């Protein structure tokens, strides 16, 4: 049993005890705005990109709770008893199957209505380094890359799925959800157009990153991702792996090594110091920093500026 599954099992016992003593606070549905009898539709989202979509599509007809707090790296999230109770009580849970094991478990055992935001999206196969990393940690090897949201077209797919699901639960709000989804789709199309225009003439197409979160972005805009670590941002790459990436950087004229906002940059800095490259922050949008006033759209435009500079796009 993995650490996340052991943790969930313990949490489930606590939640069960709370329910028996009358401490559970389920939310019914009715004809009030948002579909709930006492106010907006309560929706739980697993982590930031899904929270962003539901808040934008749902507007004031939904009340959104994210299981991953700002500033918290979401991969190894463990849920508190209160969070498991929120999953149980929500009218809808929006998550990404295969990304956060504890959330997958909570959805399977506690949720009523749930939407797997990744359903219907073509997934990239896990790379050899991602499989090797998981096996070295004694974990189950991944079959695909979960970071689908970094391709704006994939996020549009999620927007449309959320709109349809909310309208199904709350038919009275269908027009609102349709309008909000259309506006967000348009903004994502503009973002995609900006990325295509800004990366057409980059001098270097090799994107060297601290962990392999950018496969979908790389594929859409014609880059080749090269990760120092695999899917887990907290994995410690071996000296041999660092040396391998450093050799690649030297051989291919890579000038920038990208690190992430919520992860220690020391691995990227090590490769940069060994090769004479510089470092820059490229945000995988797994979560916002605590206190940030940015959103998905503004962060992705900052990422574009970073890549244009780091890859010598003219």
Q: Give domain limits for the chain.
A: 3-26+39-117+151-192, 201-310
The CA radius of gyration of the chain, in Å to the nearest whole number, is 21
Residue 230: the pLDDT is: 72
Residue 234: the pLDDT is: 64
Region for residue 52 given its phi and psi (left: phi exceeds 0; alpha: psi -120 to 50; beta: otherwise): alpha
Name 92's bridge partners: 43
Class of the CATH domain delimited by 201-310: alpha beta
Same CATH topology for 3-26+39-117+151-192 and 201-310: the answer is: yes
CATH superfamily assigned to domain 3-26+39-117+151-192? Nitrogenase molybdenum iron protein domain (3.40.50.1980)
Residue with tokens 């490259």: 277
d(CA 207, CA 303): 13
Q: Let me know: does 191 contact 296? Beta carbons within 8 Å.
A: no
Q: What is the pLDDT along the chain (314 residues), one digit of tens a residue?
A: 444 444 444 444 333 333 333 333 333 333 344 444 568 999 999 999 999 999 999 999 999 999 999 999 898 899 999 999 999 999 999 999 989 999 999 999 987 899 999 999 999 988 777 677 666 666 666 778 999 999 999 999 999 999 999 999 999 999 999 999 999 999 999 999 999 999 999 999 999 999 899 999 999 999 999 999 876 666 788 899 899 999 999 999 999 999 998 888 999 999 999 999 999 999 999 999 999 999 999 999 999 999 999 999 98
Residue 20: the pLDDT is: 30
Question: The pTM is what?
Answer: 0.86
Q: Are strands 114-116 and 206-211 parallel, antiparallel or unpaired?
A: unpaired
- The 256-259 sheet, strands edge to edge: 224-229, 206-211, 256-259, 278-281
Of 150, 169, 192, the residue nearest 52 (C-alpha) = 150
Token pair for residue 42?
A: 């309560």
- DSSP, collapsed to helix, strand or coil, labels residue 187 as helix
Residues in Cβ contact with 223 at an 8 Å cutoff, skipping those fewer than 6 apart: 199, 202, 205, 206, 207, 214, 217, 311
**Phi, psi for residue 70 in degrees, rounded to 5:** -55, 140
Interaxial angle between packed helices 296-310 and 174-199, expressed in degrees from 0 to 180 and rounded to the nearest 10: 10
Token pair for residue 102?
A: 């504890």
């Amino acid at each position: 049993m993995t650490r996340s599954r052991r943790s969930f099992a313990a949490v489930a016992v606590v939640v069960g005890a709370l329910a028996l003593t009358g401490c559970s606070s389920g939310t019914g549905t009715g004809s009030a705005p948002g579909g709930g009898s006492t106010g907006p539709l309560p929706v739980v989202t697993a982590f930031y990109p899904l929270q962003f979509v539901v808040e934008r599509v749902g507007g004031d007809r939904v009340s959104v709770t994210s299981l991953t707090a700002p500033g918290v790296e979401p991969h190894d999230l463990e849920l508190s008893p209160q969070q498991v109770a929120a999953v149980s009580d929500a009218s809808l849970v929006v998550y990404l199957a295969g990304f956060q094991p504890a959330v997958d478990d909570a959805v399977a055992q506690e949720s009523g209505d749930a939407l797997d935001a990744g359903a219907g999206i073509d997934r990239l196969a896990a790379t050899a380094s991602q499989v090797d990393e998981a096996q070295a940690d004694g974990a189950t090897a991944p079959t695909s890359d979960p970071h689908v949201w970094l391709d704006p077209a994939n996020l549009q797919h999620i927007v449309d799925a959320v709109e349809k699901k909310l309208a199904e639960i709350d038919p009275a709000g269908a027009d609102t959800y349709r309008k909000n989804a259309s506006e967000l789709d348009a903004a994502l199309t503009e973002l995609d157009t900006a990325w295509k225009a800004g990366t057409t003439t980059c001098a270097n197409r090799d994107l060297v990153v601290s962990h392999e979160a950018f496969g979908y972005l790389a594929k859409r805009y014609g880059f080749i991702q090269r990760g120092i670590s695999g899917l887990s941002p907290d994995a410690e790459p071996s000296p041999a792996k660092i040396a391998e990436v450093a050799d690649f950087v030297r051989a291919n004229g890579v000038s920038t090594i990208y690190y992430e906002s919520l992860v220690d940059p020391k691995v990227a800095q090590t490769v940069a110091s060994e090769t004479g490259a510089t470092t820059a922050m490229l945000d995988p949008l797994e979560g916002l920093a605590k206190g940030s006033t940015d959103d998905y759209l503004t962060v992705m435009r900052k990422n574009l500026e970073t890549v244009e500079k780091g890859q010598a796009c003219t």
